[in-house]
Every structure is written in C-alpha cells, then in structure tokens.
Structure 1
C-alpha cells in the first residue's frame, strides 16, 4: 500500500490537517500526480501493510469528533508519529525521494491513537 501523509500542520484551525495524518491510502504502484509528488508538506510512504491497517488509518473521522462552541468537527482517530519512523529526517525539509519505502512493522509501530 502507498500512504499519502501530511508532514506539517496545515494551519491552526481545529479541522486543519495535522502532521502525521494519512490523507489517503492507495494500492502499490498508484499513479500519483505532480501535486502529490511535489508538495513539500506531504510524503508518500510505501509499505506492505494489510488492508485492515490501511482502513484504520483512513477511518479516523468516524471515530473522532470534537465539540467546540456547540459545533462538531471531524477529527482523525489515528496519526503516524513521524519521529518514530526510521530515518525521520525524511519527514522534514526538502523531499529527497518521491516515495519512501518502509517495512510494515515501521508503519504499524508509528501508528498512534489520538487522545
């Protein structure tokens, strides 16, 4: 599977994308566009994770909701702890590779439930 992951917070709004949030999961060999491949705020991780783990990373909005001033906002239930991934320097600064290959255990070990 290939994961498109945010590496920085996209603003301070309560519903903004957060660092470590998995934006989408696609099958291996997915035809990523130039927007995904060139965006300095995103990385693509390729790892042989099971579909069930991919679903957990994507399903977050179902599990988490945050109530602020009487309004409900969606919230991811799971993020990737980028500093827990091998070669964590790949997740800051300039992109050094279009797709970063990892082991499934790396991705599973870095998956963090948001409180």
Structure 2
C-alpha cells in the first residue's frame, strides 16, 4: 500500500506539478511587486487612482456593486498571464523548437 503511494508521489508528473506550484507562487510575488510598484503607479498617474476599486460603483437598493474591483482583478490577471507567457512559455517553446531542429539535423545511423 505504501509502496504504491510512494511510487505515485515520485512519478514525474507529480514532482513536476509540485515544482510548478512552488515556482508559480514565487513568480506571483514577483509579478505582484511589479504590478504594485511600477504598473499601478503608472496607471494612477494616467487615471488618478492607484487601482480601479472606486471606479464604476453602482448602488442598487442600498447595495453597492463595485465593478471596479472586478476590473482591478482582471487587470492583475492579464498582467500575470502576460508575464508568465513572455517569461516562461515563450522561452520554453523556443527551447523545444531549437531542440527539435537540433534533433532533425543529427544524422541517423543506419
């Protein structure tokens, strides 16, 4: 029973996922710092507010609908997605492409 569980944990997919979660958490901190210290102050200079939380508030029967909070979350998501794409996905795709070309160039022994 424990051997099967150990084998499951030491499979490549589980280990890869664990590493990805750890790196993702660390990378999120980097992107959050970039967003909070560079991009949002820039947006604040353009719009007049450091985020969109107070933007597009609607009161309906005494309840406040804060669409600006959703807009801030969407902007943060798009920034994180762009950073992940340009910092991780593009270089990995380029590396895979280069390895594929390198493998095609090697002569096969027949």
TM-score normalised to the size of structure 2?
0.26
Q: Tell which structure's C-alpha radius of gyration is larger.
A: 2
Structure (1/2) with the larger strand percentage = 1
Point out which structure has higher relative CO (alpha carbons under 8 A, 6+ apart). 1
Structure (1/2) with the larger helix percentage = 2
TM-score normalised to the size of structure 1?
0.26
